[in-house]
Amino acid sequence: MATRHATGKPSARNCAKFLQDVASNRPAIQTRYGKWFPDFSKGDLSRVVAFSAHRLTLPFWRCKGVSPFRPSERDEETFEAMLRHRLRVIWHRANSGDNPQAAVGRLFYETRDFQHITFGVRRGMDGKPDSTKWCVNTLAALKWLERNTHKLRFCAIKGCREFPYFIVSSSYKKYCSSRCQEIAEVERIIQREQTETKPMKPSRLSPEGVERIKQGQKKRWARNKAIKKAQKKSGK
């Protein structure tokens, strides 16, 4: 059977959007990015998926900020979850300065390896990494990621439901989207109003005590000023 050839690589913008959407677990990922995932309709890939999933139990893909990986009952869902888990580990390593490029390189290798094994399991029915569309797309995204790990951020809104894992841009640096920026602005307004309407606490000092403190501060200020003036005059 003839090998499918890729017709071109995705743009940098599409690569970033794909990575951000997968890491943030946006809905209907495989519907919107069908050409970025393996075609599971061509034959059983359960052994390939199981082999790949086992790698996530190894220490390299464990991360304090990422929940332990749990496979799904469906191979395509497990594959997507594996990619999401690895991307989240990379995000956390990037934000802690723990050599995220090494993790990207490992994911790149494991993605190619998945397709190489698939090629063998399907006896050549599917292309190798450099000629299979989904693999070309995903590997292009990972190459972009390797150069841009410094752009990986967590949205500053606690419990963000838009893009908790996001990539900074000229428009979004601290918050992932205009929605989260608006939420943050509303929270700032509420806090400011609460501060302005908060009643002043009465001073525990008597008026005489307050006056003594003021006079003491004035005397210390005058004394320091006199010392500096004398030092300047003596040339010290």
Domain extent at residue 228:
207-236
CA distances from 17 to 71, 91, 120, 171, 197 (A): 24, 15, 31, 14, 43
Q: Tens digits of per-residue pLDDT, 35-54?
A: 999 999 988 999 999 999 99
DSSP element (H, E) containing 167? strand 165-167
25 lies in some domain = yes
For 137-176, what is each residue's pLDDT tens digit?
Answer: 999 999 999 999 999 999 999 999 999 999 999 999 999 9
Instruction: With respect to residue 188, please indicate whether it lies within any of the assigned structural domains.
Output: no
Is residue 186 situated within a structural domain?
A: no
Cα separation, 181 vs 190, in Å, equals 14
Say whether both 55 and 161 belong to one domain.
Answer: yes
Interaxial angle between packed helices 12-23 and 75-96, expressed in degrees from 0 to 180 and rounded to the nearest 10: 100
Model-level pTM?
A: 0.79
Task: Indicate the number of domains in the chain.
Answer: 2
> Are residues 43 and 141 both part of a single domain?
yes
